[in-house]
A and B are shown apart, each in its own frame.
Chain A
Amino acid sequence: MTFERKHILGLEELSAEEITLILDTAESMKEVSTRDVKKVPALRGVTVCNLFYEPSTRTRSSFEIAEKRLSADVLNFTLSHSSVSKGETLLDTARNLEAMGASVIVIRHPMSGSPWLLARELDSSIINAGDGSHEHPSQALLDLFTIREIKGKIKGLKVVIVGDILHSRVARSNIWGLSKLGAEVRVVGPPTLIPQYIESAKAKTFYNLEEAIEGADVIIMLRIQMERQESVYFPSLREYSRFYGLTREKLIGAHKDVTVMHPGPINRGIELSSDIADDASSVILDQVSNGIAVRMAMFYLVASAGRNQ
């Protein structure tokens, strides 16, 4: 099949075939990062702009490396030193970037849906790098890629997502992606952090961690976003950690080859006990290097489809 989308905005709208094509392409891209010269000429002459309205060194760096490995020209626009602070609207800023020659725009924005606005109004290809608490497709795709690499498949796996599901765009994108590829998805967290409609997105809800991870093949731990805890969703971090922090004892019921994943950065001793964090660290570093390959695949496919329209 060929990829016909000019934008990658979220996993909800991608088909299982499209997701698989991205993962297959990423597998080929991964090899480029192992070479002497870690660069291929595929996107020569294409200007990509990283438009980040939220601080994120990690995701932005990963996108930037992916762009550079494909030989694209890279323009970084971040909140602190851009015209955003001078009151310009998102659309005006993006139109300016387009006028400077950007043909692909990677956007991270605190408002859910903003990438769709750009996709509707601009000629450029848009890649969503995280919008509000809605979707974070590149993170979910790299999680899927990592799971497929470790387990050899996704279909039929029991995958548990633990923590703040309510605010997590990583959780939303992962639920869509995993369920489309045939995994059984469970979510677990304090009732205040589980959105009501989540069952309709094909995820089973649990409130007890041990029950949720019974027989689990993969556990995706979400970061407790300290910056979003200003309104009180649980009594204290210590209490959260006691009920929902992953420790060796709580892992007993899981599958013996269970894989623990985390999108980083880890709050050690809160979501993961330190020994589990050490065990998981190799997978977490795999996730980081797979992220580059997955993002390269996204650029290649979007740039190719963008030419036809």
Chain B
Amino acid sequence: MAKNVLMDSETIDRTIVRITSEILEKNKGAKDLVIIGIRTRGVHVAERIANRINKLEKIEPPMGTLDITLYRDDLRRKTEWPKVEKTEIPFSVEDKEVILVDDVIYTGRTTRAALEEIMDFGRPSSIQLATIVDRGHRELPIQPDYVGIKVDTLSSEKIRVHLEETDGKDEVIVLQG
């Protein structure tokens, strides 16, 4: 399988710095921000954004973790149901600016599930989406607010965001199917 490196570790670092600055600019600081990462890799990207916010604003934004398994729209079609991991949102989202973080946005279905799940925790004043990669092919009317890199891909290609926390190395690669 041919492999193409889209981003290396330095590029990923810079991207997170830029995304964080955009978040702070748009929300005029970090006062009402909460960060929620979608399992698995979105959680680590979310942690990095939260650390960066802490560095810049001296505020530790509340961090949550979302497992969207119970909200998937393809459960009824899947032959093998994924293992349910824990959702942990140990704070109120009521009237907060929620920054929802994932590694890749593709069809938009994961985001849809995540939006629905967050709403079950309360009524935030807004939900904004940040992703490292936007690879197109949306099937729902959902767009990210903060994007690391936008790439045109074929449906047959696979985009993999590898992070040190889970894969031992930071890089974004394209695999030709």
A145 CB to nearest chain B CB (Å)? 14
Confirm or deny: B26 has a beta carbon within 8 angstroms of a beta carbon on chain A. Answer: no
Give me 9 A-to-B residue pairs in the complex whose CB atoms sit less than 8 angstroms apart, sorted by A's number: A21-B83, A29-B84, A39-B120, A40-B117, A41-B70, A41-B116, A70-B70, A300-B70, A307-B81
With a CB–CB cut-off of 8 A, which chain A residues contact B79? 307-308
With a CB–CB cut-off of 8 A, which chain A residues contact B80? 2, 304, 308
Bound-state Cα–Cα, A28 to B85, Å: 5
Confirm or deny: B122 has a beta carbon within 8 angstroms of a beta carbon on chain A. Answer: yes
Bound-state Cα–Cα, A37 to B120, Å: 5
Confirm or deny: A227 has a beta carbon within 8 angstroms of a beta carbon on chain B. Answer: no
Bound-state Cα–Cα, A91 to B80, Å: 30
Confirm or deny: A35 has a beta carbon within 8 angstroms of a beta carbon on chain B. Answer: yes
User: Quick check: B86 and A45 within 8 Å, CB to CB?
Assistant: no
Given contacts A35-B120, A35-B121, A40-B120, contact A28 B67 (CB under 8 A): yes
Beyond A27-B86, A36-B121, 5 extra complex contacts between A and B, CB < 8 Å? A28-B87, A37-B121, A70-B70, A297-B84, A308-B79
Q: Which A residue's beta carbon lies closest to that of B77?
A: A307
Bound-state Cα–Cα, A42 to B67, Å: 12
Task: Give per-residue flags for B58-102: 1 if the beta carbon is below 8 A from chain A beta carbons, else 0.
Answer: 000000000101110001101111011111100000000000000
User: Quick check: A36 and B87 within 8 Å, CB to CB?
Assistant: no
Confirm or deny: A274 has a beta carbon within 8 angstroms of a beta carbon on chain B. Answer: no
User: Quick check: B122 and A36 within 8 Å, CB to CB?
Assistant: yes
Q: Which A residue's beta carbon lies closest to that of B72?
A: A42
Bound-state Cα–Cα, A2 to B70, Å: 16
With a CB–CB cut-off of 8 A, which chain B residues contact A37? 119-121
A162 CB to nearest chain B CB (Å)? 34
Given contacts A304-B80, A307-B79, contact A41 B67 (CB under 8 A): no
Which positions 177-201 of chain A face chain B at CB distance < 8 Å?
none
Bound-state Cα–Cα, A113 to B78, Å: 32
With a CB–CB cut-off of 8 A, which chain B residues contact A300? 70, 81, 84
Confirm or deny: A59 has a beta carbon within 8 angstroms of a beta carbon on chain B. Answer: no
Task: Give per-residue flags for A7-44: 1 if the beta carbon is below 8 A from chain B beta carbons, else 0.
Answer: 00000000000000100110111011001110111100
Q: Which B residue's beta carbon lies closest to that of A46?
A: B76
User: Quick check: A28 and B76 within 8 Å, CB to CB?
Assistant: no
Interfacial residues, chain A to chain B (CB-CB below 8 A): 2, 21, 24-25, 27-29, 31-32, 35-37, 39-42, 45, 70, 297, 300-301, 303-304, 307-308
Q: Which A residue's beta carbon lies closest to that of B117?
A: A40
Q: Which A residue's beta carbon lies closest to that of B75?
A: A42
A97 CB to nearest chain B CB (Å)? 21
With a CB–CB cut-off of 8 A, which chain A residues contact B75? 42, 304
User: Quick check: A304 and B81 within 8 Å, CB to CB?
Assistant: yes
Which among A29, A39, A41, A297 has the greatest number of chain B C-beta atoms within 10 A? A41
B88 CB to nearest chain A CB (Å)? 7
Q: Which 3 A-B pairs have CB atoms at the shortest separation, nearest pair first?
A: A304-B81, A40-B70, A37-B120
Q: Which B residue's beta carbon lies closest to that of A40?
A: B70
Q: Which A residue's beta carbon lies closest to that of B113?
A: A41
Q: Which B residue's beta carbon lies closest to that of A45?
A: B76
Which among A32, A39, A40, A303 has the greatest number of chain B C-beta atoms within 10 A? A40
Bound-state Cα–Cα, A112 to B88, Å: 41
Bound-state Cα–Cα, A303 to B85, Å: 17
With a CB–CB cut-off of 8 A, which chain B residues contact A41? 70-71, 116
Bound-state Cα–Cα, A308 to B75, Å: 12
Q: Which B residue's beta carbon lies closest to that of A305?
A: B81
With a CB–CB cut-off of 8 A, which chain B residues contact A25? 83-84
B91 CB to nearest chain A CB (Å)? 12
Task: Give per-residue flags for B138-173: 1 if the beta carbon is below 8 A from chain A beta carbons, else 0.
Answer: 000000000000000000000000000000000000
A294 CB to nearest chain B CB (Å)? 13
B67 CB to nearest chain A CB (Å)? 7
Bound-state Cα–Cα, A300 to B71, Å: 12
With a CB–CB cut-off of 8 A, which chain A residues contact B87? 28, 31-32
User: Quick check: B86 and A28 within 8 Å, CB to CB?
Assistant: yes
